Structure 1
Amino acid sequence: MSLKNKIFGLIIFLFFSHLSNLAAQTYQISLLTCDPGDELYMAFGHSAIRVLDRSKRTDYVFNYGTFNFNTPNFYGKFAAGKLDYMLSVSTYADFISTYANEKRSVREQVLDLSFEQQKYMVEFLQVNYLPERRFYRYDFFFDNCATRIRDAMDLVLGDKLVWSEDELDVTDKTFRDLIDEYVLTMPWADLGIDLALGAVIDRKASNWEAQFLPEYMEKSFANATIVGDGPTRPLVKESRVILDFPRQNAQMSSFNPYWIFWAVAIAFTLITYIGFKRKQLYLGFDIALFVVLGLLGIVVFLLWFATEHSATQWNWNILWAFPGHLVLAFALLRKQPKVWVKKYLLAALILADAAVVFWILGWQSLHPSLIPILLVLILRTNYLYYNLEKYRSLRA
């Protein structure tokens, strides 16, 4: 080959290499991570994908965390775990404006993808935004606004994407531990979550599984690498802060279940002591207690057996918040309770004790504020079991 041909070939090579570099600069794909907000639905943060197309001068954010309030039977579907979330698209400016108004910080991680990978990701998002594909069945732990993005990255990069297993250090944390980090200052919400979610979330989460939380996924992206596609390189080539607001040091409200439930326990202890001294039952308090526990038990039962929520199964709160307690409450209204009532009280006492054992053994973590409620249930079932027939003719 002549020198002239070699020079010509080099020029052609450099020309197409330059075109390739220009093409690679057409897109900028980023992970956006938003800080938690003050309300419960904002408490866990948010993730979205930004696609900046310099050639078309467009800048969009793809958001898997939206749903349609106009969905028929919206609340019924939400309670039953049948509410579909959807992929929505907004301009980057509108997205940032929303979080600026909410005073929530937003951080961006620009991904170091090749042009082919960028193109694949854009096509993937465009196809998933089609009306027949944009909806999906939401699952807080395994299919949400964060995991959808992580799974898209796994699909686009395949075995070229390597997640680090050493950086997050969540090996000793259960799913319940992870969500507790975000709701400890919201005691009533924390209690509600612990009442609704079953033992299935009391297993340890892997680093990969912890990415259901946006902040943990942000850390995972920061430590992930791309291999087998040229030189090994970090998945994130640039990180920057888009919005920066100081996080408020939220304080737990003075109106919380911790002291309120202990106050209830002290009140029931005094009632039991006075009743023992006066040889009375004061059944009105027990009726109110068992009505509340029975109604709560119905909710736990329905969440376990009548919904598609994966995290509400095997919920051993049903041992103490049992639907049958509602029947017991009505049975105690009778002046002469039936014979089966005493047997039921013994069974309720055993179930309450079993709930404590399950908690101690780590089969399910119950909310700490429930300790006084369990003590009340054990105290009153025990007291009624031994004294109901003796004082059955005495009314409070």
Structure 2
Amino acid sequence: MQFRILCLALFFLFSGISGRSQTRLSLLTCGPGEQMYALFGHTAIRVQDSLRGTDHVFNFGVFDFDTPNFTWKFMRGTLMYKLDIQEFQGFLPEYQYEGRSVIEQELLLDEADEAAIIAFLAENYQSDKRYYRYDFFFDNCSTRTRDVFEKVLKERLKYRFPESESLPTFRDMIDPFIGHDSWLDFGIDILLGAPTDWTADERGQMFLPAFLSSNLAYGVVDETRPLLSPPVTFLEPALGNGTGAMVKPAWVFWLLLPFFALMWAYLPKIRQVLILDAVFWIFYGLVGCLIAFMWFGTSHLATNSNWNLLWLNPLQFAVGISLLLRPRAKWLPLFGWLQFLCLLAYLIAWQATSLEMHFASIPLIILLVLQSLRLADFKIKRPKNPDFLK
């Protein structure tokens, strides 16, 4: 509570800024951390006043772990983030402890612009604007920081980006932070939808703190004055690049492919194999349930329009249960053909659009093709009274 009172007092002081104040504003860019929420780095605005001896950080990336139903709200994308303030002397040690880099770039603004930015931050802190619904690509700590400068400086701020022959997608941009072909990379690729494959222009790239830092460096105020000074390093990264998981998902799935294919070809009616079929469909169906939930049950834009639902869908769970309880159900062969057609549609969309497919997905899709054809022909090939039904 005392800290909140300090923050409010700070704003009253800032609201009375005059020419006698010696303020300095800067952009802080923090490197990636080991925790999932820290994988993409962080950004904040530092406000110093040497005359009053204050040094604070305005941070748009704060959320409250004590929020009721925190995990459920986080998963559904309804958790409210907020603008908060902390003293710089408490901000820096956190990143030093976590072994993360911190760089600073001073905002090269006159006193009037500095005062306008501080007033804008103060107004946002003291109103409902302080809270916002987080969106990974379009409304996060990094884009909010960019928006502060754009809303205060308006048309006086222009970007002089160099010409580029091609622009990356959002998926291209996050991949280096996750680790190529890691289990996390595979899982995220499965759960993220079509918006992830949209092209990110230079302004859109600023959703990542590192690109906010580099792309704002092309900003110019009043046609001549650079927005930012060159970066100064406070902390070097102590984290290594890491070797990632020793066992890659692609290795596992490609090794499983011939094993299952041979087993289905030579042992099609063994009880254990048929039970394994059920487990196969249940597993795919559970992943499909998660994809469907992230698309239809959450507010995350990044998980919308996920066409992986064509080959990973909740109905597959029902197939697995039916194989265990009612293996002669008449709808199973029909579903096998339907699933096969959905796979064809997915592969056509993959070739015809910007849809991206993770390399580790290929053996899983091949397995599903084989299982779909096996299910479609199940009624013809199985004996009338298989041993496992007696």
What is the rounded CA distance, in whole Å, between the counterparts of 1:121 and 1:334 in structure 2? 65
Q: Which residue of 1 aligns with 2:312?
A: 321
Q: Which residue of 1 aligns with 2:194?
A: 199
Match 2:128 to one of 114, 127, 132: 132
Percent of aligned positions with the same letter in both sequences? 35
Report whether the alignment pairs 1:112 with 2:108. yes
Amino acid at match of 1:53: D
Match 1:213 to one of 208, 212, 224: 208
Q: Secondary structure at the match of 2:281?
A: helix
What is the rounded CA distance, in whole Å, between the counterparts of 1:170 and 1:77 in structure 2? 40
**Contact 2:161–2:218 under 8 Å retained in 1:** no
**Contact 2:295–2:304 under 8 Å retained in 1:** yes
Q: Which residue of 1 aligns with 2:281?
A: 290
Q: Secondary structure at the match of 2:56?
A: strand
Instruction: Classify 1:352/1:149 alpha carbon distance in 2 versus 1 (closer, same or farther; 3 Å).
Output: same
**Contact 1:269–1:376 under 8 Å retained in 2:** yes
Q: Which residue of 1 aligns with 2:255?
A: 263
Match 1:79 to one of 72, 75, 84: 75
What is the rounded CA distance, in whole Å, between the counterparts of 2:387 and 2:123 in structure 1? 69
What is the rounded CA distance, in whole Å, between the counterparts of 1:130 and 1:177 in structure 2? 37
Report whether the alignment pairs 1:95 with 2:91. yes
CA drift at 1:25: 6.5
Q: Which residue of 1 aligns with 2:46?
A: 50
Instruction: Classify 1:225/1:329 alpha carbon distance in 2 versus 1 (closer, same or farther; 3 Å).
Output: same
Amino acid at match of 2:24: Q
* Moved >4 Å (runs of 4+): 278-281
CA drift at 1:247: 5.2
Match 1:237 to one of 229, 234, 246: 229
Amino acid at match of 1:313: N
What is the rounded CA distance, in whole Å, between the counterparts of 1:307 and 1:290 in structure 2? 25
Instruction: Classify 1:53/1:239 alpha carbon distance in 2 versus 1 (closer, same or farther; 3 Å).
Output: same
Instruction: Classify 1:270/1:149 alpha carbon distance in 2 versus 1 (closer, same or farther; 3 Å).
Output: same
Amino acid at match of 1:294: G
Amino acid at match of 2:244: M
Q: Which residue of 2 aligns with 1:301?
A: 292
What is the rounded CA distance, in whole Å, between the counterparts of 1:388 and 1:172 in structure 2? 50
The normalised TM-score by structure 2 is: 0.89
**Contact 2:337–2:376 under 8 Å retained in 1:** yes
The normalised TM-score by structure 1 is: 0.88
What is the rounded CA distance, in whole Å, between the counterparts of 1:300 and 1:328 in structure 2? 17
Q: Which residue of 2 aligns with 1:32?
A: 28
What is the rounded CA distance, in whole Å, between the counterparts of 2:40 and 2:165 in structure 1? 17
What is the rounded CA distance, in whole Å, between the counterparts of 1:63 and 1:280 in structure 2? 59
262-271 vs 291-300, which deviates more? 262-271
259-268 vs 212-221, which deviates more? 259-268
Q: Which residue of 2 aligns with 1:344?
A: 335
What is the rounded CA distance, in whole Å, between the counterparts of 1:32 and 1:290 in structure 2? 48
Instruction: Classify 1:150/1:62 alpha carbon distance in 2 versus 1 (closer, same or farther; 3 Å).
Output: same
Instruction: Classify 1:236/1:275 alpha carbon distance in 2 versus 1 (closer, same or farther; 3 Å).
Output: same
Q: Which residue of 1 aligns with 2:172?
A: 177
Q: Which residue of 1 aligns with 2:7?
A: none
**Contact 1:60–1:90 under 8 Å retained in 2:** yes
**Contact 2:104–2:231 under 8 Å retained in 1:** yes
**Contact 2:333–2:378 under 8 Å retained in 1:** no
Match 1:252 to one of 239, 244, 251: 244
User: Which has the higher Rg, Structure 1 or Structure 2?
Assistant: 1
Report whether the alignment pairs 1:331 with 2:292. no
Q: Secondary structure at the match of 1:142?
A: coil
What is the rounded CA distance, in whole Å, between the counterparts of 2:21 and 2:52 in structure 1? 12
What is the rounded CA distance, in whole Å, between the counterparts of 2:144 and 2:382 in structure 1? 61
Report whether the alignment pairs 1:151 with 2:154. no
Amino acid at match of 2:207: F
Structure 1 stretches lacking a partner, 5+ long: 1-21
Match 2:119 to one of 119, 123, 138: 123
Q: Which residue of 2 aligns with 1:66?
A: 62
Amino acid at match of 1:32: L
- How many residues align structurally? 370
**Contact 1:170–1:210 under 8 Å retained in 2:** no
Instruction: Classify 1:115/1:336 alpha carbon distance in 2 versus 1 (closer, same or farther; 3 Å).
Output: closer
Q: Which residue of 1 aligns with 2:3?
A: none
198-207 vs 380-389, which deviates more? 380-389
Report whether the alignment pairs 1:388 with 2:363. no
Q: Which residue of 1 aligns with 2:355?
A: 364
297-306 vs 60-69, which deviates more? 297-306
Q: Which residue of 1 aligns with 2:13?
A: none
CA drift at 1:362: 3.3
**Contact 1:185–1:251 under 8 Å retained in 2:** no
Instruction: Classify 1:160/1:235 alpha carbon distance in 2 versus 1 (closer, same or farther; 3 Å).
Output: same
CA drift at 1:24: 7.9
Instruction: Classify 1:111/1:33 alpha carbon distance in 2 versus 1 (closer, same or farther; 3 Å).
Output: same
Q: Tell me how large the CA RMSD over aligned residues is.
A: 2.1
What is the rounded CA distance, in whole Å, between the counterparts of 2:98 and 2:135 in structure 1? 25
Amino acid at match of 1:299: L
Q: Which residue of 2 aligns with 1:3?
A: none
296-305 vs 357-366, which deviates more? 357-366
